[in-house]
Amino acid sequence: MANPVEQFQIEPIVPIIVGPLDLSFTNSSLAMAFAVGASALIFYAGTRRLSLVPGRMQSVAEMMYEFVANMVRDNVGKEGMKYFPFIFALFLFVFFGNILGMVPGNFTFTSHIAVTGALALAIFIAVTIIGFMRHGLGYLRMFFPRGAPILTAPILIPIEIISYLSRPFSLSVRLFANMTVGHIMLKVLAGFVVALGLVGGVVPLVAVIGITVLEFFIAALQAYVFVILTCIYLNDAIHMH
Amino acid sequence: MPQFDPSSFASQIFWLAVAFFVLYQLVVKLVMPGLGGVMESRQRTIDEDLARAADLKARTDAAIESYEAALADARAKAQAVLRETNEELARAADARNREVSDALARRIEDGEARIAAARAEALEGVRDVAADVASAVTGKLMGEAVDETAARQSVDAVMREAR
Of B7, B26, B45, the CB nearest to A22: B7
Closest Cα to residue A210, out of A172, A182, A176?
Answer: A182
The pLDDT of A120-137, averaged and rounded, is 93
Statement: the pTM of the whole predicted model exceeds 0.80: no
**Overall domain count for chain B:** 1
Q: Are A80 and A238 in contact (CB under 8 A)?
A: yes
The reply to whether B4 falls in a domain is no
Rounded to whole angstroms, how far apart are CA atoms B139 and B150?
A: 13
What is chain B's mean pLDDT, rounded?
90
Q: Are A47 and B34 in contact (CB under 8 A)?
A: yes
* CA B70 to chain CA centroid, nearest Å: 18
- Give residue-wise pLDDT tens across range B53-82: 999 999 999 999 999 999 999 999 999 999
The reply to whether B6 falls in a domain is no
Q: What is the pLDDT of residue A27?
A: 92
The reply to whether B140 falls in a domain is yes
pLDDT band at B147 (very low <50, low <70, confident <90, very high): confident
Q: What is the pLDDT of residue B108?
A: 95
Amino acid, res. B138:
T
Q: How many beta-carbon pairs below 8 A join chains A and B?
A: 135
B122: which residues sit within 8 A by CB, 6+ positions away? none
A5, A43, A91, best to mutate vs chain B, most B CBs in 10 Å: A43
The reply to whether B71 falls in a domain is yes
- Give residue-wise pLDDT tens across range A137-181: 888 888 887 788 888 888 889 999 999 999 999 999 999 999 999
List of chain A residues whose C-beta atoms are within 8 Å of the C-beta of residue B38: 47, 50-52, 54, 58
A13, A34, A36, best to mutate vs chain B, most B CBs in 10 Å: A36
Of B8, B34, B38, the CB nearest to A52: B38
Closest Cα to residue B96, out of B107, B83, B88, B111?
Answer: B88
Q: Which domain holds residue B89?
A: 11-162
Q: Are A172 and A112 in contact (CB under 8 A)?
A: no
Rounded to whole angstroms, how far apart are CA atoms B136 and A31?
A: 165
> Is A241 a residue whose pLDDT tops 80?
no
Rounded to whole angstroms, how far apart are CA atoms B86 and B80?
A: 10
Rounded to whole angstroms, how far apart are CA atoms A185 and A83?
A: 36
DSSP string spanning chain B? Answer: -GGG-GGGHHHHHHHHHHHHHHHHHHIIIIIIIIIIHHHHHHHHHHHHHHHHHHHHHHHHHHHHHHHHHHHHHHHHHHHHHHHHHHHHHHHHHHHHHHHHHHHHHHHHHHHHHHHHHHHHHHHHHHHHHHHHHHHHHHHHHHSSPPPHHHHHHHHHHHHHHH-
> Which residue in chain A has the smallest CA separation from B39?
A52
pLDDT band at A47 (very low <50, low <70, confident <90, very high): confident
> Is A21 a residue whose pLDDT tops 90?
no
pLDDT band at A30 (very low <50, low <70, confident <90, very high): very high
What is the distance between the terminal CA atoms of chain B, rounded to a whole angstrom? 154
> Which residue in chain A has the smallest CA separation from B31?
A43
Q: What is the pLDDT of residue B87?
A: 96
The reply to whether B5 falls in a domain is no
Q: Does B32 touch chain A (CB under 8 A)?
A: yes
CA distance B63 to chain A (A): 34
State whether A114 and B24 contact (CB < 8 Å). no
The reply to whether B2 falls in a domain is no
Q: Are B30 and A43 in contact (CB under 8 A)?
A: yes
Q: Does B10 touch chain A (CB under 8 A)?
A: yes
List of chain B residues whose C-beta atoms are within 8 Å of the C-beta of residue A28: 8, 11-12, 15
The reply to whether B35 falls in a domain is yes
The reply to whether B154 falls in a domain is yes
